[in-house]
Amino acid sequence: MSGTVVDGGLAAAGQVDHAAVARSSRAWGWWFVAEHRIRAMRSYVASAVIIGLGSPFLFLIGLGVGLGLLVDANQGSQGVDGVPYLVFLAPALAMAGAMQTSSQENTYGVFGGFKWFPMFFAMNGTPIGPAHIVLGFQVAVLVRVLVSLVAFVLVMILFRIGDPLGAVLLLPIGLLMAAAVGFAVMSWVATQTEDRGQLSFIERFVVVPLTLFSGTYFPLETLPWSLQWVGWISPLWHAAELGRAALYGAPLPAAMLLVHVGYLVLLGAVTCALSIRTFRRRLDK
């Protein structure tokens, strides 16, 4: 049976400075949330690394080399967008992977945090508040995304796909897009209170179509006009365009640079604010 009393009392006030606790939580609450989720990720770190390294490798070999042979044979020396198909494809694949990871984590993590393992309510019982939960959750997702992006970029550098420095630039671009997608998914999922199968709609009817119609596997301009708008609203297209400019110097006018970055920042900021509003309402019972 238990005996020891904790430093002069189990709940003895005085050993913890509660005013300092409140100050630190007001400033760093988002980080404590991220820390919690990162700690939870440690239990599947091995499989994450294997998937992180294995899947870009398979995709690049399968699509880039296999399909690339066919495409390059048909395109002759001009390639696609002026470069071999593998180089054209790689940045968009990296971005598509980041989008998928972010959307999945935000779908099931956010729904689960309210419903399956209602951790958001437990967090809300500590000094931190809803905005911290929203931000911290996204930071943890970005850490996960970063791990797979780094793996992807390493494979690209290893196989000398594009400019190595440009490949490194894919990291910040991917993170920006993953944040925008993450907050967007979160802002919708947070409003869902029952799982009636609608959660998988995001994957099937948003992520997959966006991947197919965002100029991932072929330049957006080759799509008929009636479908090109999908690319314009797709965070993936904006990020892929930035990635291509970074990796092999695809032409990018300054105005378009602003449009691509601005679109991602705006999408992320607006849906972040919406997420915070929804979290605040849902946690204030």
Partner 1 sequence: MIEARGLRKQYGDFTAVDGIDFAIEPGEAFGFLGPNGAGKSTTMRMIAATSTRTSGDLQVLGFDPESHGPEIRAQLGIVPQADQLDEELRVIDNLVVYGRYFGLPLPYVKRRAEELLDFAQLTEKRKARVDGLSGGMKRRLTIARGLINSPKAMLLDEPTTGLDPQARHVLWDRLFRLKEEGTTLVLTTHYMDEAEQLCDRLVVVDKGAIVAEGSPSALIRQYSTREVLEVRFGSSRNAEAAERIEGIGSRIEVLPDRVLVYDDDGEAAMAAVHERGLQPITSLVRRSSLEDVFLRLTGRSLIE
Binding site for partner 1 (CB under 8 A): 1-7, 9-16, 18-22, 24-26, 28-29, 32-33, 35-36, 39-40, 43, 117-119, 121-129, 283-285
Smallest distance from the beta carbon of 54 to partner 1, in angstroms?
Answer: 24
Residue 8 contacts by C-beta under 8 Å, 6 or more apart in sequence? Answer: 14, 15
Structure tokens at 65: 């080399």
Residue whose CB is less far from partner 1, 20 or 255:
20
Smallest distance from the beta carbon of 17 to partner 1, in angstroms?
Answer: 9
Taking CA atoms, 156 is separated from 97, 166, 174, in Å, by 14, 10, 15
Smallest distance from the beta carbon of 113 to partner 1, in angstroms?
Answer: 10
Structure tokens at 207: 């992520």
Residue whose CB is less far from partner 1, 7 or 194:
7
The dihedral through the CA atoms of 247, 252, 258, 264 has a sign that is negative
Smallest distance from the beta carbon of 139 to partner 1, in angstroms?
Answer: 14
Residue whose CB is less far from partner 1, 34 or 245:
34
Closest among 269, 268, 283, 265 to 110, alpha carbons compared: 283
Q: Residue 282 CB: number of other CB atoms within 10 A? A: 16
Closest among 63, 134, 138, 70 to 105, alpha carbons compared: 138
Smallest distance from the beta carbon of 173 to partner 1, in angstroms?
Answer: 31
Smallest distance from the beta carbon of 144 to partner 1, in angstroms?
Answer: 15
Closest among 173, 14, 193 to 96, alpha carbons compared: 173
Closest among 93, 186, 171 to 137, alpha carbons compared: 186
Q: Residue 20 CB: number of other CB atoms within 10 A? A: 9
Residue whose CB is less far from partner 1, 140 or 149:
140
Residue whose CB is less far from partner 1, 127 or 219:
127
Residue whose CB is less far from partner 1, 124 or 271:
124
Residue whose CB is less far from partner 1, 121 or 218:
121
Quick one: how many helices (H) and strands (E) in the chain? 12, 0
Smallest distance from the beta carbon of 42 to partner 1, in angstroms?
Answer: 9
